[in-house]
Structure 1
Amino acid sequence: MLPLSSMGQQIAQTLSNRHGFSVDAVSHMLTAVYNGNGSMAQFSHPEFGGSGQWMAGGMMMIGDMFNQNLKYRVSALCEDCARSIAENQTGTSSGVFQSQSQSGGSNYQDQQAGGGSASNSLFAPDPRRNWWPQELGSPSASGSQNQMRYAYFADAHRLAVATGDDVWLYDTLQHNIGGFSQQQSGDGSITFTSQFGVVPLSSLPIVSRNGIVEAPQAPPSPAPAPPAANVQPEPTPAPNEASANPNGTSASSSPDSGNVFDTLDRLGGLLDKGYITQEEFNRKKSDLLDRI
């Protein structure tokens, strides 16, 4: 909210008495109408039913949408604020740099264009003015939302954002920024709109923080290749019965006890069918049992 001059404070007190709102609420509305060039306002104040919008000609929206009496009072206040600004203000703001909430919740926001250096009589000089790096000159657009301020320098391809006591300067690359917003729920992330759509602020390279140049941001390192799998060699398949020698013996030279008994069973079958003699069977049986 812009600070009021002594004349602005007198007008705020007069409007407060006339409409039954506090001086703080009236000052808030004067700032909102001023930022809307005297023809519209975006506001958020408990006495106005939360967030709302007004536009000259009859459009009026408040958070307490079913409170018709409050809607009438707020609309009348907006019209008086617009009249007071037209009669006493020597300069107006042209708010073309939009700043708005992406979800529910109360928030304060204002915006102005062309550096906002117009002379005025209702508002005192803003002590926060020119908080950005002075070498950038006057911003193409500036504004604030909640506890955050921003200033866009189109020619220099820079965007300054103040959060708390920190001033961050970003390189806007090829973006032509036309809007700015902050989530009011979730992680409170900051986004802006350009010719490329909605873009997160975190995607812009950081130039400096509080005047200290940030080191160039290195591209992310590629992920390390996964370790090679420890592949065990495939076991050599045991020869089948087709590789047995004419005497019915296995080609394996060192069978274990299980294989020995299996071979003896098969030799017994060969003996029963008459394929080998009893002498051949006994000789092979003795040879296999000696290897266990």
Structure 2
Amino acid sequence: MRQLTPEGQQIINQLAQKYNFSPDAVFSLLQSVINGNGSMAQFNHPEFGGSGQWMRGGMIMLGDMFNNNLKNSVGGLCQELSNLIANQPDLIQTGNFQSQNQGSQQQGNYSGNQQQQNGSGANGPVSLFVPPPAGSSGNWWPAGLQFPTSTGAQNNVRYAYFANIQRLAIEANGHVTLYDTLDHQIGGFSQQQSGGSSITFTSQYGVVDVNNLPVISIDNVPVQSSSQPDQTFYSANNAVNTQSSSQEADIFAAIEKLAGLKDKGILTENEYNAKKSELLGRL
């Protein structure tokens, strides 16, 4: 996690005082807005009523859905943080998770001390975060992976996909995991907000959980594993899913035909129900 500059910490403290939240809550929301490219945020913090979502333009959903005062405070804070990072270099990422929405950047217009609140000083924008050490690229993914095919972030999780070398880096909970993508031709990523917030991607084998990929390293420490996912699993699993979907469609079509025969008086109600139960039992 990047470290705030003294000026950045001062801005966070001022926003916390303005909206009556703790600096920790404001900083947590700042990370969520950054991960949403300044146009959206998905967050989970007790001071915000638990989990929630904000999108620039006025859309906000909170776990405490009937607390309008809290909605106004969180919405106003998100908008100010969005305006704030618009003045910051290298905070807006390219690429997206499925639910990420990119939009035009807006100039901050804060009340109070203008130079401090909009992140600008006499010599230009005030940097929120301490810059990376000299000689460092500033990239969060493992060293040696310089040119990702796509990057994106959502809900405090971000990814970088390197198609040419079949690698996928994911940062979650402060740890960076590097995966081998095998022969997957990845077309998109998404994050489930339930069931452990697992990350999935789509490839020629359908929807695949990232946890099914071999792990290369965690926080740059190599991981040795004797068991690697068998690639035939994906093709076989995809074939089974396709066959299952086709069978379900045939069963439902047969039930519709039976219903038509019952309506015409060809089948009695009991005969229809018995046959329907038999067909549903095959699902």
The verdict on a shared fold, with TM-score over 0.5 as the criterion, is yes
| 1:174 aligned residue | 184
Counterparts of residues 48-197 of structure 1 (less than 5 Å) = 48-86=48-86, 88-94=87-93, 96-98=95-97, 121-125=127-131, 130=139, 132-139=141-148, 140-141=150-151, 143=153, 150-161=159-170, 167-181=177-191, 184-185=194-195, 188=196, 190-196=198-204, 197=206
Task: Note the alpha carbon deviations across 1:117-143, whole angstroms, 9 max, x for none.
Answer: xx982123479x656442322433255
CA distance in 2, matches of 1:150, 1:190: 13
TM-score by length of 1: 0.55
Q: CA deviation at 1:167?
A: 4.2
Distance (Å, rounded) in 2 between the aligned partners of 1:89 and 1:165: 24
1:140-188 deviation line (CA, Å, top 9, x unaligned): 3255867x77532123221135688784431342321521436754xx5
Q: Distance in 2 between matches of 1:154 and 1:20?
A: 45
The structural deviation recorded for 1:35 is 2.6
Alpha-carbon distance between aligned partners in 2 of 1:3 and 1:99, rounded to the nearest angstrom: 28
For 1:135, what is the secondary structure of its paired residue? coil
Q: Distance in 1 between matches of 2:176 and 2:126?
A: 29
In structure 2, the CA distance between the partners of 1:73 and 1:126, relative to structure 1 (3 Å rule), is farther
CA distance in 2, matches of 1:72, 1:218: 48
CA displacement at 1:12 relative to structure 2: 0.5
Preserved contact between residue 173 and residue 204 of structure 1 (Cα < 8 Å): no
- Where relative contact order (Cα < 8 A, 6+ residues apart) is larger, the structure is 2
Q: Give structure 2 stretches of 5+ with no counterpart.
A: 103-124, 232-283
CA deviation string 1:32-60 (max 9, x = no partner) = 22232322222211111111111222111
Gaps of 5+ in 1: 101-109, 113-118, 221-292
Contact 1:99 1:145 in 2 (8 A): no
Give RMSD over aligned pairs. 4.0
**2:207 paired residue among 198, 204, 208:** 198
Deviation per CA, 1:89-118, whole angstroms, max 9, x where unpaired? 234313533288xxxxxxxxx999xxxxxx
Equivalent residue letter for 2:129:
F
Percent of aligned pairs with the same residue?
Answer: 44
